[in-house]
Amino acid sequence: MTTTHDLVHVSTQSTMPRHPLEPLTPEEIAKAVAIVRAERNLSEQFRFPAVVLKEPPKSVMLNYQSGDSVEREAFLILLDNATGATYEAIASLTRNTVTSWQHIPGVQPNIMPDELSECEAAVKANPAFQAAIAKRNLSLDSVVVDPWAIGHFGLPGEDGIRLSRCLCYVRTTPNSNFYSRPIDGLVPVVDLNQMQVLRIEDMGVVPVPPEPGEYAAEFIPMRTDIKPLEITQPQGPSFEVDGHHVRWQKWQFRIGFTPREGLVLHTVGYEDQGKLRPILYRASLAEMVVPYGDPRPQHFRKNAFDVGEHGVGVLTNSLRYGCDCLGEIRYFDAAMTDSRGEVAIIENAICMHEEDFGVLWKHTDWRLESVEVRRSRRLVVSFFCTVDNYEYGFFWYFYQDGTIQYEVKLTGILLCGVLADTPKYGTLVAPEVNALNHQHFFSLRLDFDIDGGNNSVYEVNTEAEPMGVDNPYGNAFSATSTLFKTELEAQRIIDPLAGRYWKVVNPSVQNRLGQPVAYKIIPGDNILPFAHPDSPILKRAGFMTKHLWVTPYAEDERFSAGDYPNQHPGDEGLPKWTQANRPIENTDVVVWYTFGHHHIPRPEDYPVMPTAYSGFVLKPVGFFDANPALDVPPSVPKQGICH
């Protein structure tokens, strides 16, 4: 049972926001759609892939003072199903008018959730598909059609048509796990604008795996030896929330949300000696790609751009207390539209709470018989999304010592095919079930403002000193910092054997020791793609080839693989922008960090995966004069004393 202060729910505001970076309210979203519909006389054939806040220019926000008048605008992406044309619009909510309308030729917006359900219905109503199912002696009612983005492979007849290539499965019972029983060799291809099946790729009848692969509680005998674990804060949480502005343990930041990126952090800063010191202006997931490693006709197209082709925000889960989050929870809703422009609200989209995180710091002076120990706690801001078979939890952690951590939690269900001979490109996880080898790549866009806008980026490597007069016993080593002056210099990969990290420095601000203030990026779990350099996936997702990219700030450079990766041939985004080799020293820089999770499946990952973890850490290095967590008070002891 929860007490009255266990759950605090913050719905999306219904009045005009007080701060220019507050997300659009439901009323503002409806107003933006109405303005564009009326002024452009839109037909019912138009869909609305995105209606989001058009954030004010960074230059405006850096000088913003409470009470300043800032125009409130919405940015819209629109798709005309009748013509296949894509448009971008800006609607002024302040002036009630469309201020910009632009046709964007040759692109496809993200696939929208209601397109998926309409696509499945169109496939199951198709006579050729029904005949293919009957040929396999399967019941149409038991079949599940899972539409996927088709990608771009230079194949004839696919350019200029909004397409989906569907994977098919069968349920053993109406409540069964269908992902455990793929129907290999049967792939419908659908025109999403017309919602018509263009062709059925039938590669021959392949027996469906025999076992249902159940994981839901109704099918599994539960263990009975787990005792309750309660997390309580009798005096309530330590954070304060005003709209989407958060204050916690000297941290301040703003929460944003978009259908494409999901959770966005704005204006992250830390209070130090009575001053709020900026660290990040904006931080978000800029792209996410899942390349699969099976070259067979059924599987080679499986390369999902989960941010650009679908949108992790629009696929966000409504979180449930006690299941997804524990403790003293503050929830935030997310407001957006469905594809027809109707307001849609995801309740409890973002979860925020505090967690105990063990020992923050400790020392025992045995001569004085004195112990000083402080317990660490962290603030957690997170959301979960479901992208077809996979679940992803995206977590930002804020620590009392100035550390920021980003972590992705990967769970859900493996993408499987039917076993063919030996599973060279996967792992046998159940009878006749081959879980495909794959990787997950996440690209973070980190718009740093370390104590101000002009920053520089260095690479730091640790090197052993040669033996000699100055190192007679061979024990010496030192860390060497190298400044990146241009974009091409800053395209780098990790090197854990050199202890490699990167630091973002403000050369104009020094700590009390005369050192420039900085934050460093510490890599975690990471890898490079195994796709060939000339492969279609690396043309479309070239950002995966480097772990670090640095660019000068540009308002229109938001997404690592470009604005419209769906069905795009590639060479957009970071690889294209950085060809200019712009200077990046002592300027307003954006750091793009990419990390990859490598997944060679195990039988233990089936039928549902235990959570895997991947991410990185941002740590202050000379940003503070000393340990900023010295003033964290001792914990109230359960017995005896803690100091």
Catalytic site residues? 306, 390
**Distance between CA 628 and CA 511 in Å, rounded?**
13
Residue 331 in tokens:
């929830």
Q: In what order do the strands lie in the sheet with 163-170?
A: 143-149, 163-170, 186-191, 196-202
Q: Is the sign of the CA dihedral 61, 66, 69, 74 positive or negative?
A: positive
User: Within 10 Å of residue 355's Cβ, how many Cβ atoms?
Assistant: 14
User: Of 118, 210, 130, 208, nearest to 162 (Cα)?
Assistant: 118
Residue 12 in tokens:
């999306």
Angle at 638 between CA 636 and CA 640, to 5 degrees: 90
Task: Please give, one letter per residue, the 3-state secondary structure of 435-452.
Answer: EECEEEEEEEEEEECCCC
**Distance between CA 415 and CA 306 in Å, rounded?**
15
**Distance between CA 165 and CA 297 in Å, rounded?**
12
- Could you tell me which residues come within 8 angstroms of residue 46 by beta carbon, excluding any fewer than 6 positions away? 37, 78, 79, 80, 81, 341
Beta bridge partners of 312: none
Q: Using the 8-state DSSP alphabet, how is residue 60 labeled? A: H
User: Of 416, 221, 392, nearest to 299 (Cα)?
Assistant: 416
